[in-house]
Amino acid sequence: MPLIDRNGTIAEQWTREPGATAGHLIVPLEALAETLATRRNDQRIGVSLANTAVVSDLADVLGRVALIAIAFPAYNDGRGFTLAKRLRRAGFTGRLRATGPLIADQFAYALSCGFDEIELPEALAARQPVAHWLKAAQSFSAVYQRGYEGKSSILDQRRTAAASQHD
Amino acid sequence: MYRYDEFDARFVRERVAQFRDQVARRLDGSITEDEFKPLRLKNGLYLQLHAYMLRIAIPYGTLSSRQMRQLALIGDRFDKGYGHFTTRQNLQFNWPKLKDVPEILDLLADVEMHAIQTSGNCIRNVTADHFAGVAADELEDPRPVAELIRQWSTAHPEFSYLPRKFKVAVSGAAEDRAVILAHDIGIRIVRHEQTGEIGYRIIVGGGMGRTPMIGKVVRAFLPKADLLAYLEAIMRVYNAEGRRDNKYKARVKILVHETGAEEFTRRVEEEFAALDGPSINADPAELARIAAYFAAPDYADLEPFSAPLDRQKKANPEFAAFVESNSFAHRQPGYTALTVSLKPIGGIPGDATGDQMRALADIAEQWSFSELRVTHQQNIVLPNIRLDDLFDVWKALRTADLATANVGLITDIIACPGLDYCALATARSIPIAQSISNRFADPVRQKLIGELGIKISGCINACGHHHMGHIGILGLEKSGQESYQITLGGDATDKAAIGERLGPGLGADEVPDAIETIVGVYLGNREASEPFINTYRRIGIAPFRAAFAKVEETSDAAH
């Protein structure tokens, strides 16, 4: 399925087919322990999570997977944003993927909450071409929040501006 | 008043450009109507019964003469020459065309206004005490922190797709005039009992709608500097755990209720403890920067008593009645905060014509430091009127048909737009308000009855705050007929209470008689000059029910 990151379309290097001979493997949480034990040497493992997953239950998973895919059952279900934020806070530094029918106008939010990439259903990606996503991600040149990824915070810019006035 | 800096101005322009682009993508089919819906709602655009409705944010109800004039211009050019002030201190235009909306948003941005997050499942426009900064009973002006929260909640990356809408209100006074106990988050500015430090009391899980709840205190005292991190913790717990299986159980009040206030508080505190506060919170200098915009205007040094006012009142009883019902104690000697009623007898609560808005803008410019407030009672406040100027202000208001002397009285009725406009409504609200207003038009009788708040909602969503009216009226639909349910004893102040149901539903034409009956029981039982709500608390609902049942019987016999 189509995959985009902050720079545009990217090639899929992951598969959800356990029997696949090439590519890195994403498995559900239940299958993770066994998959890690039996993987090929060069194979990286990712885990897919429902947006109701509890971060404290995943403590020993975070350091062992290279990718976490969080499911968005619908664009208007914002739980995935909070889960991403909590995973980053818990120290997860691998690839974070949002999977599901998000819309272009959520791209900036997803990146801010710590996602790296979005995996879209085919039909939706056909309707909302990648150019729309890249443009939507640039809608705002700065944001009002602090502590989120990417965009510069207006509060910090104000502080910098005030400090330089005092110099 | 707050003024945009370069960052605010650019943000709002970028939001207009984004919306223009969203409309274009909707029109070319790249986003579906279903996908477009939350995008337009987050910009205040509803599809109503007859047309689109655009809800414009008036943050914490404060606006300038210049902004009021621009609203009048938009009403004249894109609506039918009027606007409707709402119970959330906003303004609604009921007849804009979709193609005109980006242009309207540009006109708003010209005067530092917008329609951001006046709808949708996000943090809504922040409301506050409409007497903020001028009330004699105020500990601290709530508007700087309300503005800080407005900015922080704007286009929040994590909290823009919440289970349901989310409303925040702030009060800094002894008396709660912002209904903070009936909001998703209510913030009260308090002084720490031991240290004397000023901070915030945080209340979560109040609300109206079909399950009215009084909010619970989750933090009795929060240091000012920790506010944004604490709000982030509350929102994160709600975003992760709030119900999404049933839209009627999705508000945070249900989460607090089902989890239990203690356990909910524990989860919020746990999340708060895990946060890196300094990376989230605003620098105290930022709050100070905002607060500087709300510094008191350049008041004249006056005596607390005005001899000319006294003479004018004696010579003109109508003016005296107006001053008595519409003015409010000001912290500055020689000034008053004057409420302009948008409830003329038989009128539509909260409506103002373009000409009236311009008149208000002019009056504020001449006599009130160019500042106005919108109240959640759907009236307008001129916050800084000199007592010596009151007579001139009254004459100017009278010329604009804005001198109704009924603030807080039985005809100062709150009503949602109801079935005349709203797609959610199950019954009409406006005609009910009009018929009650006409019935109690006599100013002498109104004054005799005294303080009595009637609040009308045209559906269970309770935009008219009926649960918290001394007399609440809820319009429902019963087998194809409008049916009105009456509640008594609601209270929107710090003694917050949810009204109790009086009896079975009534037809629209029976409502004024029912109100007569209720007023009759009150007048028959009141002691001295006791207001309605006190009598109700003392005697309970039983005498009202008994009288109501008697009326029911007579009416049944007549049919």
Are residues B29 and A142, on separate chains, in Cβ contact within 8 Å? no
Query: Among residues A49, A51, A17, which one has the least CA distance to residue A35?
Result: A17
Confidence class of residue B214 from pLDDT cuts 50, 70 and 90?
very high
Closest approach of B298 to chain A, Cα-based (Å): 26
What does the angle CA B540 – CA B544 – CA B547 come to, to the nearest 5 degrees? 150
Q: Which of A83, A112, A127 is facing B157, going by the closest CB pair?
A: A112
Helix (H) or strand (E) holding B482: strand B481-488
Look at B552 and A157; give whichever has higher pLDDT.
Answer: A157
CA distances from A25 to A28, A42, A92, B407 (A): 10, 11, 18, 69
pTM for the whole structure? 0.95
Say what the pLDDT of residue B171 is.
Answer: 97
Q: Which of A79, A139, A147 is facing B239, going by the closest CB pair?
A: A79
**Low-confidence residues of chain A: pLDDT under 50:** none
Q: Is A75 on the interface with B (CB under 8 A)?
A: yes
Average pLDDT over residues B258-275: 98
Structure letter (DSSP) for residue B525: H
Are residues B30 and A103, on separate chains, in Cβ contact within 8 Å? no
Report the range of poorest mean pLDDT among A90-104, B45-59, B263-277, B380-394.
Answer: B45-59
Kindly state the tokens that stand for B236: 């994160």
Sheet (strand B82-85) strand order: B45-47, B52-56, B91-93, B82-85, B351-353
- The question of ipTM being above 0.85 is answered as yes
**What pLDDT, in 10s, does the model give residues B86-104?**
988 999 998 898 889 999 9
Kindly state the tokens that stand for B396: 């100017």
Q: Which residue has the tokens 């006294």?
A: B310
Are residues B279 and A158, on separate chains, in Cβ contact within 8 Å? no
Average pLDDT over residues B226-250: 97
Say what the pLDDT of residue B557 is.
Answer: 55
Say what the pLDDT of residue B540 is.
Answer: 97
What does the angle CA A119 – CA A121 – CA A122 come to, to the nearest 5 degrees? 115
What residues in B contact A141, CB-CB < 8 Å? Answer: 10, 14
How far apart are alpha carbons B494 and B173 in whole angstroms?
A: 10
Q: Is the pLDDT of residue B167 over 60?
A: yes
How far apart are alpha carbons A72 and B204 in whole angstroms?
A: 27
Q: Is A147 on the interface with B (CB under 8 A)?
A: yes
Say what the pLDDT of residue A167 is.
Answer: 65
Mean pLDDT (chain B) is 95
B207: left (phi over 0), alpha (psi -120 to 50) or beta: left
What residues in B contact A126, CB-CB < 8 Å? Answer: none
Report the range of poorest mean pLDDT among B34-48, B441-455, B505-519.
Answer: B34-48
Contacts 24+ apart (CB under 8 A), A20-26: A24/A66, A24/A67, A26/A67, A26/A69
Query: Among residues B522, B529, B559, which one has the least CA distance to residue B544?
Result: B522
To the nearest whole percent, how much of chain B has pLDDT over 90? 91
Q: Which of residues 112-131 of B touch A (CB under 8 A)?
A: 121
Which residue is closest to A151 within chain B, CA to CA? B157
Q: Is the pLDDT of residue B144 over 90?
A: yes
Are residues A103 and B35, on separate chains, in Cβ contact within 8 Å? yes
Per DSSP, chain B holds a count of helices (H) and strands (E) of 19, 20
Instruction: For residue A54, count other CB atoms closer than 10 A to its CB.
Output: 10
Please report the number of interchain residue pairs, chain A to chain B, with beta-carbon separation below 8 angstroms: 117
Q: Is A2 on the interface with B (CB under 8 A)?
A: no
Beta strands in B8-90, from DSSP E residues, in sequence order: 45-47, 52-56, 62-64, 82-85
Across the strands, what pairs with B352?
B83
Say what the pLDDT of residue B48 is.
Answer: 78
Q: Is the pLDDT of residue B219 over 90?
A: yes
Q: Which of A89, A132, A148 is facing B25, going by the closest CB pair?
A: A132
Alpha helices per DSSP H over B427-526 = 430-439, 443-449, 511-525
How far apart are alpha carbons B282 and A51 in whole angstroms?
A: 29
How far apart are alpha carbons B411 and B416 in whole angstroms?
A: 15
**What pLDDT, in 10s, does the model give residues B280-325?**
999 999 999 999 999 999 999 999 999 999 999 999 999 999 999 9
Report the range of poorest mean pLDDT among B154-158, B185-189, B554-558.
Answer: B554-558
Which residue is closest to B151 within chain A, CA to CA? A144
Average pLDDT over residues B401-415: 97
Q: Is the pLDDT of residue B559 over 80?
A: no
Q: Is B442 on the interface with A (CB under 8 A)?
A: no
